[in-house]
Chains A and B, each alone.
Chain A
Amino acid sequence: MTSLLEVRDLTVEYPVRSSAWGRARALQALRGVTLSVAEGETLGIVGESGCGKSTLARAVVGLVPAGGGDIRWRGQVLAQLRSAQRQAIRREMQMVFQDPTASLDPRMRVAALVAEPLQVFEPDLSAARRRERVLRMLERVGLAAEHLARFPHELSGGQCQRVAIARALVIEPRLLVCDEPVSSLDVSVQAQIVNLLRDLQRDLGVSLVFISHNMAVVRQLSARILVMYLGRVMEVGTREAVFADARHPYTRALLAAIPPPEPRAQRPVHASGEIPSPLDPPPGCVFHTRCPWVLDRCREAIPALESTQGHDVACLRWRELR
Chain B
Amino acid sequence: MTAPASGLWQRLANDRWVVGCGALLAALTVLALVGPALSPYSLETPDWRAMALPPTTQDAHWFGTDRLGRDLWLRTWHGTRISLLIGLLATAVSMLIGVTWGAIAGYVGGRVDALMMRFVDVLYSLPYVFFVIVLTVLFGRNLILIFLAIGAVGWLTMARIVRGQTLALRRRPFIEAAIAMGVPTWRIVARHVVPNVAGPVIVYATLTIPQMILFESFLSFLGLGVQEPLASLGNLIAAGAAEMEIAPWMLIVPAGVLVLLLGCCNFVGDGLRDALDPGSNR
Contacts and interface: CB of A to CB of B under 8 A. Distances in A.
Any A–B CB pair closer than 8 Å: yes
Interface of A: 58, 61-63, 87, 90-91, 94-95, 97, 99, 102-107, 116-117, 120-121, 151, 153, 164, 167-168
A99 B195 CA distance: 21
Contacts of A121: 182
Contact of B181 (A94, A102, A106): A94
Given A95-B177, A153-B4, A105 B196 contact: yes
A61 B181 CA distance: 8
Interface in B187-207: 187, 191-192, 195-196, 198
Interface stretch (B23-31, B37-45, B90-98, B168-176): B168-176
A231 to B, nearest CB: 21
Nearest to B183: A120
Nearest to B184: A120
B173 A90 contact: no
Contacts of B174: 102-106
Contacts of A102: 172-174
Contacts of A168: 181
Contact of B182 (A91, A99, A105, A106): A91
A254 B129 CA distance: 69
Interface in B156-185: 172-174, 176-184
A117 B173 contact: no
A90 to B, nearest CB: 4
A63 B4 contact: no
Nearest to A88: B182
Given A105-B174, A106-B174, 14 more contacts: A58-B180, A63-B176, A97-B173, A97-B176, A102-B174, A106-B1, A116-B178, A117-B181, A120-B181, A120-B187, A121-B182, A151-B6, A153-B4, A168-B181
A49 B192 CA distance: 30
Given A151-B4, A153-B4, A107 B196 contact: yes
Contacts of A91: 182
Given A105-B196, A106-B196, A94 B180 contact: yes
